[in-house]
Amino acid sequence: MIYTPTYRLEPETVHAVLTQRTTIPHDWVVGRDNPYNTGDYHRDDLDNHLYAFQKGRRMCLDGGYDYLWTVESDMIPPPYALERLHATDADIALGTWCTRRTETPVLNVMRHIDSITGVGGSLTYFPEQLEVSCGKVIECAGAGLGCTLIKRRVLEAIEFRPHDSRYFHCDLSFSEDCIKHGFIVKADMALLCGHKRADRQIIWPTSNGGSYLVLGQESPYHMPIRPGCSTWF
C-alpha cells in the first residue's frame, strides 16, 4: 500500500506515484484529514504528522498489505523507486533526499552507530563515510518517511509515537525504535528523490551527496502515466 499524508498535494508527487515502473500490485491512499488546528503551528504540525502515519499504519495492517510505502506529499521519487526499494529486501528501505526546513539542505540518511546509541546524524556531516556510500545500498539508521518502504512485520511490532523531545517528528522516534528492535534499515543512495519547498523550489540531491535547487513543475524523470494503480482519495 502506498500512503501519502498531505497538507498540500504537489502535482509532481502525483505524477511520480502514477508513473512508477513496477509490476508490484499496489493501491494508493491519500490522507487528507489534519484534525489538529489549535493555532500552535509547531504542535499542530507534530500532532497531524503523527495522526497521519498512525492512520496509514492501521490501514495497511487492517487491509492485509505486505508493505507500507510512505510517499510524503512534497516528495518526488523516481519512476523505479518502488522496485528498487523492494529489491533491497530490508525491513525498512529509504530513498535519498535532502531536508527542506534547514537553511543548508542535508541528506535524510542517518548513519548507524549501534543498537543502543541508535541514530547518529546525517551522512552530510560525515564526508568520508558519505563519499564511500554514494551510489550504493547501505545499512543506516533512517530517518525520514518521505520515500520509505516498510515491511508488515515492522508495523506489527512498532507503532508510530511522539518523539520524546516533542520537538522532532515521529519519523525520528520510528527510526530509533526500529534500531532498538533490531530491524535492518537500508538506504539506496542511488535512488535520488526531489523534495519540494513551499516557495516552489525543488531540492534534488546529487550523486556525490550534495544538493541543488530547481524551479518549476517538471521532474527530470518526467514520464507518461500508466494505468494499473488503484487510488483512494
Q: What is the mean pLDDT of residues 125-152?
A: 90
What's the gap between Cα 76 and its chain centre?
10
| 8 A C-beta contact, residue 123 and residue 129 | yes
In terms of DSSP bridges, do strands 75-76 and 194-196 run parallel, antiparallel, or are they unpaired? antiparallel
Peptide bond before residue 143 is cis, with ω within 30 degrees of 0: yes
Q: What is the mean pLDDT of residues 185-213?
A: 83
Query: What rounded mean pLDDT belongs to the chain?
Result: 83
Mean pLDDT lowest among 46-55, 145-154, 212-221: 212-221
Confidence bin at 147 (pLDDT 50/70/90): very high
7: phi then psi, degrees, rounded to nearest 5: -90, -50
Residue 231 confidence (pLDDT) above 70: no
Residue predicted with more confidence, 133 or 153: 153
Residue 69 confidence (pLDDT) above 50: yes
**Residue range 99-123, pLDDT digits in tens:** 876 677 888 898 876 555 556 688 8
Please state, in angstroms and rounded to a whole number, the distance separating the CA atoms of residues 121 and 88. 22
pLDDT for residue 114: 56
| 8 A C-beta contact, residue 51 and residue 32 | no
Residue 203 confidence (pLDDT) above 70: yes
Please state, in angstroms and rounded to a whole number, the distance separating the CA atoms of residues 44 and 40. 6
**Residue range 71-97, pLDDT digits in tens:** 999 999 999 999 999 999 999 999 999
Q: What is the mean pLDDT of residues 58-70?
A: 97
Confidence bin at 2 (pLDDT 50/70/90): very high
CATH T-level fold of 2-232? Spore Coat Polysaccharide Biosynthesis Protein SpsA; Chain A (3.90.550)
Q: Which residue has the cell 500508466?
A: 226
Q: What is the mean pLDDT of residues 187-207?
A: 88
> Could you tell me the CA-to-CA distances from 225 to 17, 20, 79, 147, 229 in Å, in that order?
9, 8, 10, 19, 10
Q: What is the mean pLDDT of residues 121-133?
A: 87
Q: What is the mean pLDDT of residues 128-137?
A: 90
Global pTM reads: 0.86
* Exposure on the CB side of residue 209, measured as CA atoms within 13 A: 20
Q: Which residue has the cell 550534495?
A: 210
Residue predicted with more confidence, 28 or 228: 28
Cell of 47: 500532532
28: phi then psi, degrees, rounded to nearest 5: -120, 120
Three-class HEC string of 30-96:
EECCCCCCCCCHHHHHHHHHHHHHHHHHHHHHHCCCCEEEEECCCEECCCCHHHHHHHHCCCEEEEE
Residue 211 confidence (pLDDT) above 60: yes
